[in-house]
Amino acid sequence: MDKKIRQILIFICGLIISIGFDQAAKNMAVTHLKGKAPFVILEGIFELYYSENRGAAFGMLQGRQGFFFLIATAVIIFVAWALWRMPAEKKYLPLTCSLFLLVSGAVGNLIDRLINGYVVDFLYFKLINFPIFNVADCYVVIATFLLIFLFFFYYSDEELSFLSFGAKKDRSGEENQH
Enumerate the active-site residues: 121, 137
| Crossing angle for the helix pair 65-85 and 93-116, to the nearest 10 degrees | 160
Under 8 Å between Cβ of 132 and 122: yes
Q: What is the CA radius of gyration of the chain?
A: 19
What's the one-letter identity of residue 59?
G
Closest CA to 155 of 165, 164, 147, 145: 147
Closest CA to 104 of 9, 10, 18, 25: 18
